[in-house]
């Protein structure tokens, strides 16, 4: 695929694009911001919310029309102001998108342990063994979740628990194509045995469908392989499920876009996240791609290490 420059994509559109990135400490906000910088966004990390309007006006006065801002819990006192600020910017013609990066608490604890960084909300009135005021990491994370709850509610949520940095970069670049302001569909396969995706708007359970895992010749393949696809195409219940999910989305996507939804994540789950859910995600993405901006993710397959 040819890399597209923001200038080419916005040559006839002077609307300012603002992407607000927020989320949990350790969830990958810096990675996401760097990804947007790579494709031409002017990026500002840890911006005090009180400066957001001034920065937007400064950006409008210049030549750039792509702006990305990262705001996190370090601006705790000013966070309640942010939703109203975003609403005002929308009324002023700014095209605003919000991305919230999340991860499970055990994942965040492990990442902080690996980097030996101190959580920004670890300071408190309690004195630790080293003589400095501090709170436990789990306590800091729970406090952070509460502070960011209002922003999470109005953002597109991406769970980075099992994403490598390069995968997150690719996903963020695909989420914010500079050409299309239309709603984006995200189809995601997953394994129920590893839990529900945190970023799903709709979850469909397909564990009742015939399972290629029990076919010796298909067990080591995936739903992207033709032998598995051929097996599933022969199953009437698979076709019935695919048609019903497709029909539900066709009935409601227009209404969701009319309600100013920027992204809709449809998660399809089976037992292992390798055969049935992967096949259905591939088929749904293929069906909707001609009409909507469409992304596909395979949580379990993407998390598997690649061979050298």
Longest C-alpha distance within the chain, in Å?
Answer: 68
Q: What is the mean pLDDT of the chain?
A: 85
At residue 115, the pLDDT reads 74
Binding residues for ATP: 23-30
Binding residue numbers for GTP: 72-75
DSSP per-residue codes, 87-126 = HHHHHTT-EEEEEEEE--HHHHHHHHHHHTPPPTT---SS
Say whether pLDDT at 125 is over 70: no
| Cα gap 265→12, rounded to integer Å | 30
209: pLDDT confidence band, cut at 50, 70 and 90?
very high
Query: For the residues of 126-155, what is the DSSP string, one character each?
Result: SB-TTSSB---HHHHHHHHHHHHHHHHHTS
Confidence class for position 29, pLDDT limits 50, 70, 90: very high
Residues 6+ apart with CB under 8 A from 58: none
Q: Which residues are annotated as a binding site?
A: 23-30, 72-75
Q: Which residues of 35-60 are buried (b: 16+ CB within 10 A; e: fewer)?
A: bbeebbbbbbeebebeebeebbeebe
Domain 17-175: what homologous superfamily? P-loop containing nucleotide triphosphate hydrolases (3.40.50.300)
| Ranges of each domain in the chain | 17-175, 184-298
If one counts every other C-beta atom within 10 angstroms of the C-beta of residue 205, the result is 13
pTM of the model: 0.60
The pLDDT, as a whole number, for residue 124 is 56
Of 102-106, 187-191, 218-222, 272-276, the least confident: 102-106
Q: Which residue(s) pair with 98 in the sheet?
A: 20
């Amino acid at each position: 695929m040819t890399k597209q420059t923001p200038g080419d994509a916005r040559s006839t559109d002077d609307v300012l694009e603002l992407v607000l990135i927020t989320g949990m400490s350790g969830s990958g906000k810096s990675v996401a911001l760097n990804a947007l910088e790579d494709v031409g966004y002017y990026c500002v990390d840890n911006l005090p919310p009180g400066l957001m309007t001034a920065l937007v006006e400064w950006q409008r006065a210049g030549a750039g029309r792509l702006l990305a801002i990262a705001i996190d819990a370090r601006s705790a006192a000013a966070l309640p102001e942010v939703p109203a600020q975003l609403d005002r910017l929308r009324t002023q013609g700014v095209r605003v998108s919000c991305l919230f990066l999340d991860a499970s608490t055990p994942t965040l604890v492990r990442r902080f342990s690996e980097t030996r960084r101190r959580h920004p909300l670890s300071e408190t009135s309690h004195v630790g063994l080293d003589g400095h005021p501090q709170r436990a990491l789990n306590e800091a994370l729970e406090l952070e979740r509460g502070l960011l709850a209002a922003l999470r509610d109005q953002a597109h949520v991406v769970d980075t628990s099992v994403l490598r940095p390069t995968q997150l970069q690719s996903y963020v670049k695909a989420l914010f194509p500079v050409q299309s302001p239309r709603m984006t569909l995200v189809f995601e396969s997953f394994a129920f045995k590893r839990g529900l995706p945190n970023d799903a708007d709709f979850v469909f359970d397909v564990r009742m469908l015939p399972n290629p895992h029990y076919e010796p010749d298909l067990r080591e393949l995936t739903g992207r392989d033709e032998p598995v696809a051929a097996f599933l195409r022969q199953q009437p219940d698979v076709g019935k499920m695919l048609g019903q999910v497709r029909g539900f989305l066709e009935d409601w996507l227009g209404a969701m876009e009319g309600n100013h939804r920027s992204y809709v994540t449809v998660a399809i789950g089976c037992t292992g996240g390798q055969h049935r859910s992967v096949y259905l995600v591939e088929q749904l993405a293929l069906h909707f791609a001609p009409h909507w901006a469409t992304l596909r993710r395979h949580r379990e397959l993407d998390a598997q290490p690649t061979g050298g």
